[in-house]
Structure 1
């Protein structure tokens, strides 16, 4: 079975030509990499992978492609033109778009002053506001691009708002910061979403059309789009694959399942565009990376697409994203604008990764060696495949003895599972809560996160909760909960990365919360059958406390903590109880 499986996964090698490349001689992607990648896909039962390598030498530009596995559930193979969600690899496009605004002399004349990297965002966007007034008035464009605003992720506050990005910005003032301005690197998608509102505000042009006309079109990136409807209509959009019903804490690997349709539906992607909205192919991204290596000039015509000083600026480290090396061969990392910068075995790398549901990507370049490597995966756990592949190709191109990165990831994943499973067991017998579980039902709201209404899963649910608990997703969550005799509340929670919350009682008024996502409702609405539904997030764990009379007005509520807000590094601990000590507080409505 092993040899047959490897043969099935052997690649579609595409040493095809781009407009800017000479005929390839197969010198960029080493021949031995094919069996290596096939073995990695087989080992992890991964779905598909697209690889592009770009290099400039004395003869000009060379590009090679290799494609592996399946792009879609029906078995259609991955090709260089398969479109993937590149997720946060979109951030560099936004940063370049900001740089183009800064270089826009007509805009400067109209405003009476030049836009700068250190321009305060409060002077540009009337919707802008933060909970901390000093931060609100001090945050600059550079701070937002370099993740040093003092704000943690707050990703679960994101959803498709009727008022679009403008409405999202107006809710930022209700989100708690976790550090002072410029105190700590903290990755934040909301800041990139906010910056996507500069083009509509300053130019009366949508962000998506601005990037399309200033970056996609000049580079001939014809497969690239922000539009889910457009990508689906073309038929080249890969299916992302999830490990449905996976629960690492319970030792369940789940089943590899195609996420059909795409996790965001047409129109829902607008707020997400600036942070992670691009859908693109290995072929398109190879031109993008060549432009970056060519100091902002088109690799064929040498025409300037992005001024060289903008390309240089966005790659300069402005905050420390990793303060110590992970491995002996790597260095600490600094973050510029949509890019990390670090060294690997004495060679400098500028790169960023991407993670959207069902997709994982990496876009790397070595500016001193004029090398670019792009690896796109349609497996939600694809990092464990593409990182070893990236480094194996890199070692070969640099003439270095290969390091067994595949084994390192096996070891790292095993350690992560052990660490996750080393949780404090629920006391037996458990300490009862001070409030009956049924009395914890009702509507609870946060001005940015919205409202959720938990329902106690009892043998005789309340009339208001009958439909919620009878929903197929709620039933699946409860059936997968282990042990299944733990008092549990379920709440619909439609957000970008969530559809439900599970609150499982631990002890006293403390609960273990899981943020769960399923595509069941979307699939029913679009005519898909129940077989093929995806449900993920069962092994997410956050500590949530039920606090009677814990709000400022004495209302009951739920205090979410244990990094529900998504911090990076060491940040100040919150003090107090109830609303004052919560990362996110949902008070009874």
Structure 2
């Protein structure tokens, strides 16, 4: 990525009175297939085949200069092991694309208070609700709202929460299957801050649970009900829901498969629907999502009923002005965390009709969502009054941008960005990702942690003093067994002393089991690991069940001295679907742990996110105290 001589400008979008910056390219009533052409259909089928995806649905929406909504929909493949075909009404989990709905709900709530339509009063001393209302004002005292960073606790606003500027990093182990939104909000006080809340932006699913809890508190009804009544119903999204049970009963919910073709269950249990609704929980179809896109492109008004669904403020706040740095032609920038959307600016060469030597910017708001068994990608181009959504019943498929951006390029008559998108080979030469193992963690972080003196760790035996770069090279070129036997510093106490029960106020309780642990709980855990072929007998390792939303089990693999790679896994010892053979579904978010040992006793272990160490990497993200 090469920057031109520094050229800065502000891309201001007056979204409440939006008009296209280009002459209209859309004339008359299009024939079916105006967007999803035979070429696009062929491309989609090839991507599905290359990545082993069973089914997909695509929706395209554009708004003409006269306000007419034009929609094109397509579907491919199957949605079930029985061979039922995907349709445009097939339901998929949309993952973190759920985040784009919560700011809309918040805007409606703020508008209700402004117009005197609120059902509950504001807390004493607070006269108005705005995007810049401080969260501490909504929860007086510290019974619900508190953070370790006193500045963040005092000053974080609703806007900050939705832009994920609270100074905390999301951790895949944080959410439990039995959690309620209030549980998560209360536990936020135990999370270690990563940086200044107003400048350090990070992916934080927890802040969307917080925002949903605010809507629940101030509306008097659960966020899921509020979204259903105030967004889904007036938009006409009749099949959209947060309930996996309801979606299954409808007969429209697609089954899901992992990257190895194994069928996986609907990822979210009923008990966790409310806690994950704001960040991950939405279930919708291509048909329903095109209706949502049409409302966004039409300034918050349902073009079918002419009913105002969203106040103008939600469009200004979520899709408003942005600072853009111009790049070389065919390059692009992504800016995350814009209230549930991601800014993407595409650059397609020079346009003498505008200003000589100024690069044309095609700005879009993007939303990605991925959960086990489902993948979503939504793109809005407000200045072109165009939106595209693609849904797939597979997890983490890189091919979605290939399809979605090709549709946009064709409709806007843009030069192909195929070289950046990898479309020339249509991902044919890219191998299907393999499950992560301990050798695939962020090894520099692990090595830095082993070598650090951030914790007072008592080492009773000589440690490996080879240079970190040599040790990293060895990790990358040797097998697990040979690397471990040659380079891992030994544990300072026997492995069995690390087994036992631990507790963290932020994450809950953890029972680590060694191979010789004899409790009933450990016997069940080890039995599941053994059934799935996940026991590591060639190196010291500990095993645990973890009742999380994103992970079912953890394996702690020794990487040197008293440090561990914490590998999250979801085990299926009885298989799933028609194939009842055991298998493992790998999960993103490997952690690094270092334990403190004093006088031959394990006091506890600190946990770091290996992929996102943050500014305060010497401070553990979580501390687990050993109590048994």
What TM bracket, shorter-length normalisation?
A: 0.7 to 0.9
Distance 1:62 1:456 in 2: 61
After superposition, where does 1:141-290 map in structure 2 within 5 Å?
A: 141-161=158-178, 164-243=180-259, 255-260=260-265, 262-290=266-294
Alignment partners' CA distance in 1, 2:500 and 2:333: 50
2:228 and 2:241 in contact (8 A); partners too: yes
Residue of structure 1 aligned with 2:615, choices 557, 572, 587? 572
> How many Å apart are 1:328 and its aligned residue?
4.1
For residues 532 and 76 of structure 1, do their structure 2 counterparts lie closer, same or farther at Cα, with a shift above 3 Å needed? Answer: farther
RMSD: 3.1
| Structure 1 residues 210 and 463: CA distance shift in structure 2, 3 A | closer
Does 1:582 pair with 2:597?
A: no
- Could you tell me how far 1:317 is from its partner in structure 2? 6.1
Instruction: Find the counterpart in structure 1 of residue 338 from structure 2.
Output: 336
Counterpart for residue 297 of structure 2: 293
The structural deviation recorded for 1:401 is 3.4
1:437 counterpart (451, 470, 495): 495
Task: Give the alignment partner of residue 64 of structure 2, picking from 35, 57, 69.
Answer: 57
Q: 1:152 to 1:456 in 2, by over 3 A?
A: same
Query: Which residue of structure 1 lines up, in the alignment, with residue 485 of structure 2?
Result: 428
Report if aligned partners of 2:574, 2:582 keep a CA contact under 8 Å in 1. no
Which digits, 9 at most, give the CA deviation of each residue in 1:546-586, with x for residues without a partner? Answer: 22149xxx96112212537x46xxx32343xxxxx322211
Which of 584, 591, 606 pairs up with 1:559?
606
Name the residue aligned to 2:130. 116
Give the CA deviation at 1:400.
2.3
Write the distance in 2 (CA, Å) between the matches of 1:325 and 1:192: 32
Q: 1:500 to 1:110 in 2, by over 3 A?
A: closer
Is contact 1:325–1:332 with CA below 8 Å preserved after alignment? Answer: no
Q: State the secondary structure of the residue aligned to 2:304.
A: coil
**Aligned equivalent of 1:535, options 579, 584, 594:** 584
Q: Specify whether residues 268 and 167 from structure 1 end up closer, same or farther in structure 2 by C-alpha distance, changes over 3 A only.
A: same
Give structure 2 stretches of 5+ with no counterpart: 1-27, 348-360, 444-471, 476-482
1:394-418 Cα offsets, whole Å, 9 max, x none, are 1111112333324588499679989
Q: Deviations over 1:77-122 (max 9, x none)?
A: 1110000001111112111111111111226794362201010111
Aligned residue for 1:505? 558
Residue 314 of structure 1 is matched in structure 2 by: 318
Q: CA deviation at 1:75?
A: 1.8
In the alignment, does 2:517 pair up with 1:517? no
Q: Give how far 1:151 is off.
A: 0.8
Match of 2:404 among 363, 377, 390: 390
- Name the residue aligned to 2:446: none
1:48 to 34, 55, 63: 55
Q: CA deviation at 1:46?
A: 1.7
Classify 1:231/1:500 alpha carbon distance in 2 versus 1 (closer, same or farther; 3 Å): same
Deviations 1:304-343 (A, max 9, x none): 111123222222368x9x9998994313425421112231
Structure 1 residue 49: Cα displacement: 1.3
Flag the 1:548–1:472 CA change in 2: closer, same or farther, 3 A: same
> Does the 8 Å contact 2:171/2:609 carry over to 1?
no
What is residue 249 of structure 1 aligned with on the other side?
none
CA deviations over 1:230-256 (Å, ceiling 9, x no partner): 11111111112113xxxxxxxxxxx31
Contact kept, 8 Å, 2:589 with 2:610, in 1: the verdict is no
Equivalent positions of 1:408-419 (< 5 A) are 410=427
Whichever of the two has the greater Rg, that structure is 2
Match of 2:541 in 1: 488
2:508 maps to which of 434, 442, 450: 450
CA distance in 2, matches of 1:132, 1:353: 30
Change (3 A) 1:519 1:317: farther
Q: Identify the match of residue 365 of structure 2 among 337, 345, 350.
A: 350
Any idea what SS the aligned residue of 2:186 has? helix
Q: Is the 8 A contact 2:441 2:610 kept in 1?
A: no
Q: 1:397 to 1:303 in 2, by over 3 A?
A: same
Relative to structure 1, the CA distance from residue 352 to residue 324 in structure 2 (aligned partners, 3 Å threshold; closer, same or farther) is farther
The change in CA–CA distance for 1:186 and 1:499 in structure 2 (over 3 A counts) is: same
Look up the match of 1:83.
Answer: 91
Stretches of structure 1 lacking an aligned partner (at least 5 in a row): 1-20, 244-254, 576-580
Matched, 1:548 2:597: yes
Alignment CA distance shift 1:187-1:229 (3 Å): same
Q: Residues 365 and 503 from structure 1, CA distance in 2 versus in 1: closer, same or farther, beyond 3 angstroms?
A: same
User: 2: distance between equivalents of 1:298 and 1:497?
Assistant: 35
Task: Return the alpha-carbon distance in structure 1 between the equivalents of residues 50 and 36 of structure 2.
Answer: 21
Task: Check whether the contact 1:30–1:396 (CA below 8 A) recurs between aligned residues.
Answer: no
Check whether the contact 1:155–1:190 (CA below 8 A) recurs between aligned residues. no
Q: Name the SS of the counterpart of 1:495 in structure 2.
A: coil
Aligned length: 533
Whether the aligned pair in 1 keeps the contact of 2:47 and 2:427 (CA below 8 Å) is no
Which residue of structure 1 aligns with residue 36 of structure 2?
29
SS of equivalent to 2:547:
strand
